[in-house]
Every structure is written in C-alpha cells, then in structure tokens.
C-alpha cells in the first residue's frame, strides 16, 4: 500500500503546536511522532522544513453553482480552487437550478461530485414551503443537513410559512442550517431607498437595506423556535454584533443545540470598504460596520461563534457590475480564506491554534463528520502545509475561480499554501495539481 511521510513540520492540532512527523498508509494516518525514521523504502517523503501542517480546512457553506448556473462556477473549478486554498472538505448549498429539494435531485449532485470534485464533499437538502415529506427522507449518515432560507437570496428558496417552519423544526432530528434575514424588514428598507434612487441605489446603503434589525429579528425568531421544538439549529453567516448576544459559550460545543458560524468576509471587510470595492463585496447578509466586525471577532474568540466559513458564492464580473438592484449578492472566497485568517494570526488577532479549532475541528464536531478535521492516528490524511514566511500576491493570473476575480485581488498575503493532501494523496504541490485525484463523499457519525 502507498506510504507517505511528512517530516519536520510544526503540527497545529487540538490546541498545541509541536514539531512532529506524520506517517500515512493509504488514506489513513497511522503514526504521529518525533523523528520517524523507520518508514518503508519507497515511501513518498515531504520535508516540511519547518512549515506548518494543519488539518484540512472544512468549509461548511459554499455555493458551487452546479447544476444550472455553471457560467459562474462548477464543482470541478471551485473545488480545485478550494484545494489550492487548503480546503479539503466542503458542504454545498441547495440553491442551484434545479434546486436540491428532492432526494433524486440531491443524489444527482452527489454523482457529479463523485466524478469531478477535487475535495471531499457533501450537500445540504433544501427545505421549502411544500416539501416536508421529501425532507424527512434525508439520510443523516450521508447528507450534511437541511438548509432553510429565512431570507431570500440567490435562487429564492424563501421559507416564509410559519406553520411549515415549525413542522420542519419539530419533525427532523437532522441539523437545520439557516440563512437568517427578515424579509418584510428588507422589503420595507428597499422600497424606501428605491423611492429616492430608483434601481441605482448607492452600494453603501446595502447594510441599511439588509439591516442589523433584519438579521436580529430573523435569528432570534429561529432560535426561539429551536428552543421551543428542540431542533438542532446552526445559524449561518452571523454578521452583526447584536446577534452574537443570542449565543452561549457556557456549555461545551458538543452539547450545544444551537451553534453559529461567521464568514471570512464579515471578519475582513466593513462598510468603509464599499467605496473602493463596490458590489464586489455585496453579500447577503451585508458587510456591516467596524463595530459589528469587532463584535464578531470578540464572539469568535470567546466561543459564542463556533465556525469560520466562506459562503463562497461566485458571480461573473458582468453580473456584479450592474446597478444595485440587479447586481447579485455573493463572491468567491475558497482560494484565499485560509490566507486571510492566517493574516489575522500574523496580526495577533487570533492564535493559529484557535484558527484551526474554528476552521477544522469545530466543523467536524458540529456536523459529526467521520474521521476528519483532526490530525489523529486512524483519521483520514486530509492535511495542508503552509509557509508562514512566504508572501503571496493575489493577481488575475493566479485566481482559479471560474468567474476570474476575487475581492482580495491586489492583496499581498504573508503566507502561502504549498501542499494539500486529501485522503493520503498529494493533490496540490507548489501550484501543480494531480488531476487524477478526486475527493470522497463525507460520512456523518449520527
């Protein structure tokens, strides 16, 4: 069986950083120790030479646009970019065309990923106002969870029937992940601005339209419903400081019934960036104030927020460069999310151990992903080597997204991802891909 050893690496895992070697047999880590020298002849050797070895990043929220929106992105192109960014597993959302709202349509996506995905993969089943019967057929062992849009976004899968919502929360033991923005508040705010500006609303008003109030109303309502029904709730892309007060750090993560995610763009950008970036940083929920950004960081560090993800959601530049009401929300992030967070490590905003907890360990715990998210004996060898002392500038020529742009374009990161290993296979090595290697379907211990 094929063997691989990574030597002389600073391993960041479970709150510690130590120089160790990692020996892999086939897909599985079989040994972690200092100075492993008794490995078989013919073993592939990677000398890390003091680089940092992390568990592969698990991104719990991406939109890879396949099927039906493949002019923007597809599973192959975006998973390839993800691998270059150190993301070894992803969970993709149901708002494609057609939407993943039946078991047959969901399985079609799994079939495509089995042939085309560079990274390990799972998908969310999409809940609607009228598909509860299909939703309840979802297999908790091989599907990541149920996704509900409580605010409209790309693909408009808005669930706005309160009776249906309570039935969904009451009927499934699966993790329910929600996009929380109050639709009536947003509509009222949008109509007010359209009276003044028509369709050409200044982008700086995006967080006024998709406001703090809209987010808080919806998040607090979802949390109240989860507490009433006992549902397992996970709130995606928290974007305001006030929302963080809804979450607790007083019980262990594995005992939480209500968990929450923050996204890289809400930790990096604030409303002062709209003048320069325009609709390129138009997301739902909106990038908000510097005070909100600081509140999100505080909640991330004190464990009220549990996961850092991307909400990678590409659109073409042609689409993004339209007037406000026509420019879609979302942007590409998987290739640069880890580097953005490592920039925060460099600036002492977060420790590298804490970053690994939020991007690797906690997604595995929250979704109960089998044998991933940690560097442990007996676990799949999903690993990323990063050089913390090597600059990497984001340019048009090295962006791998199908849409061809990044909100980080022009940024010089202080770190570079040099190697990505998936299921024991070196898939990415200093910019070169092994295109024969494909990821595996994630399995969940539920």
**Mind listing the pLDDT tens digit for each residue in 392-422?**
999 999 999 999 999 999 999 999 999 999 9
Which residue is associated with the tokens 């923005």? 181
The verdict on 143 and 288 lying in the same domain is yes
- What pLDDT does 150 receive? 79
How far is residue 238's CA from residue 214's CA, in Å, rounded to a whole number?
Answer: 12
- What is the mean predicted confidence (pLDDT) over 56-63? 98
Q: How far apart are CA 325 and CA 12, in angstroms?
A: 44
Other CB atoms within 10 A of residue 432 CB: 9
Q: What is the mean pLDDT of the chain?
A: 96
Distance CA(342)–CA(374), nearest Å, equals 18
For residue 432, name the pLDDT band (cuts at 50, 70, 90).
very high
Q: Which of 216, 334, 206, 340 is nearest to 281 (CA)?
A: 206
Same domain, 348 and 424: no
What is the Cα–Cα distance from 128 to 132, expressed in whole angstroms?
A: 8
Q: Is residue 175 part of a domain?
A: yes
Residues 380 and 346 in one domain: no
* More confident call, 278 vs 162: 278
Q: What is the rounded distance in angstroms from the CA atom of residue 316 to the CA atom of residue 243?
A: 31
120 domain-assigned: yes
Residue-wise pLDDT tens digits, 107-161: 999 999 999 999 999 999 999 989 999 999 999 999 999 999 876 555 557 777 8
User: Where residue 164 falls among pLDDT bands split at 50, 70, 90?
Assistant: confident
Residues 70 and 90: their CA atoms lie apart, in Å, by 18
What contacts 66, CB < 8 A, 6 or more positions away? 73, 74, 75, 96, 109, 112
Phi, psi of 234, rounded to the nearest 5 degrees: -130, 120
Same-domain check for residues 91 and 209: yes
pLDDT (tens digit per residue) in 304-348:
999 999 999 999 999 999 999 999 999 999 999 999 999 999 999
Among 312, 337, 367, which residue terminates a domain?
Answer: 367
The rounded distance, in Å, linking the Cα atoms of 216 and 361 is: 27
Task: Tell me, rounded to whole angstroms, the distance of Cα 368 from its chain centroid.
Answer: 16
Which pLDDT belongs to residue 152?
A: 58
Give domain status of residue 157, yes or no: yes
Whether 228 and 202 map to the same domain: the answer is yes
Range of the domain at 18: 3-53+375-389+413-433
**What residues are paired with 53 via a beta bridge?**
11, 385
Of 86, 39, 81, 49, which Cα lies nearest the Cα of 64? 81
Res 160: pLDDT: 77
Strand-pairing partners, residue 385, are 53, 419
User: Which tokens in the block code for residue 12?
Assistant: 């960041």
Number of Cβ within 10 Å of residue 105's Cβ equals 18
Q: Are residues 78 and 47 in the same domain?
A: no
- In a domain, residue 442? The reply is no
Tokens of 146: 């149920």
Reported confidence tier of residue 162, pLDDT bands at 50, 70, 90: confident
Number of domains in the chain: 2
User: Mean pLDDT across the stretch 276-305?
Assistant: 98
Query: What SS3 state is found at 201?
Result: coil
- Domain of 179, CATH number, reads 3.20.20.140
3-state helix, strand, coil in the chain (%, to 5): 35, 25, 45
Task: Note whether residue 151 is domain-resident.
Answer: yes
Say yes or no: 228 and 170 in one domain.
Answer: yes
Domain assignment of residue 199, yes or no: yes
Q: The domain spanning residue 379 has which CATH number?
A: 2.30.40.10
Query: Per the omega criterion (within 30 degrees of 0), is the bond before 313 cis?
Result: no
- Whether 12 and 90 map to the same domain: the answer is no
Residues 33 and 61 in one domain: no
Same domain, 25 and 68: no
Percent of the chain with pLDDT over 70: 99
Q: Which residues, other chains included, contact 325 with Cβ-Cβ below 8 Å and sequence gap of 6+?
A: 190, 194, 199, 201
Instruction: Report the SS3 class of residue 157.
Output: coil
* 95 part of a folded domain: yes
Give phi and psi for 249, each to the nearest 5: -125, 20
Confidence of residue 68 (pLDDT cuts 50, 70, 90): very high
Residue 218 within a domain = yes
- Residue that has been written with the tokens 């698990």 in this structure: 58
Can you give the pLDDT at residue 268? 98
Q: pLDDT tens, 213-272?
A: 999 999 999 999 999 999 999 999 999 999 999 999 999 999 999 999 999 999 999 999
Q: Give the distance from CA 38 to its chain's centroid.
A: 38
Same domain (yes/no): 111, 200: yes
28 plus 151 within the same structural domain: no
């Amino acid at each position: 069986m094929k063997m691989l050893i990574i030597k002389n690496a600073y391993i960041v895992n479970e709150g510690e950083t130590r120089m160790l070697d990692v020996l892999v047999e086939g897909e599985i880590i079989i040994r972690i120790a200092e100075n492993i020298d008794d490995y078989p002849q013919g073993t592939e050797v990677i000398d890390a030479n003091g680089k940092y070895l992390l568990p592969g990043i698990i991104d719990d929220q991406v939109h890879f646009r396949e099927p039906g929106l493949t002019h923007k992105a597809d599973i192959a192109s975006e998973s390839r970019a993800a691998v270059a960014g150190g993301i070894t597993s992803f969970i993709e959302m149901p708002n494609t065309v057609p939407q993943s709202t039946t078991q047959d349509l969901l399985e079609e996506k799994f079939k495509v990923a089995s042939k085309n995905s560079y990274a390990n993969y799972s998908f969310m089943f999409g809940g609607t106002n009228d598909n509860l019967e299909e939703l309840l057929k979802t297999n908790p062992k091989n599907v990541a969870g149920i996704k509900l849009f409580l605010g409209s976004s790309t693909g408009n899968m808005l669930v706005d029937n309160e009776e249906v919502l309570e039935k969904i929360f009451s009927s499934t033991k699966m993790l329910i992940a929600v996009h929380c923005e109050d639709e009536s508040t947003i509509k009222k705010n949008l109509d007010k601005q359209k009276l003044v500006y028509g369709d050409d609303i200044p982008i700086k008003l995006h967080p006024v339209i998709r406001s703090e109030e809209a987010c808080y109303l919806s998040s607090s309502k979802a949390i109240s419903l989860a507490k009433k029904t006992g549902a397992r709730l996970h709130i995606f892309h928290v974007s305001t400081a006030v929302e963080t007060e809804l979450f607790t750090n007083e019980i262990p993560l594995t005992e939480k019934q209500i968990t929450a995610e923050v996204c890289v763009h809400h930790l990096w950008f604030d409303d002062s960036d709209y003048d320069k970036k325009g609709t390129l940083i138009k997301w739902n929920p909106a990038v908000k104030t510097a005070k909100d950004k600081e509140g999100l960081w505080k909640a991330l560090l004190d464990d009220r927020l549990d996961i850092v993800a991307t909400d990678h959601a590409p659109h073409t530049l042609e689409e993004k460069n339209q007037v406000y009401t026509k420019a879609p929300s979302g942007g590409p992030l998987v290739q640069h999310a880890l580097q953005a967070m490592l920039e925060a490590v460099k600036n002492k905003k977060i420790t590298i151990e804490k970053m690994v907890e939020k991007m690797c360990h906690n997604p595995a715990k929250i979704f109960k992903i089998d044998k991933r998210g940690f560097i442990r004996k007996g676990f799949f060898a999903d690993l990323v080597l990063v050089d913390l002392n090597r600059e990497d500038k984001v340019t048009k020529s090295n962006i791998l997204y199908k849409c061809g742009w990044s909100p980080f374009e022009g940024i010089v990161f202080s770190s570079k991802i040099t190697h990505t290993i998936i299921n024991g296979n070196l898939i990415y090595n200093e910019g070169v891909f092994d295109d024969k290697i494909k990821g595996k379907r994630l399995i969940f211990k539920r």
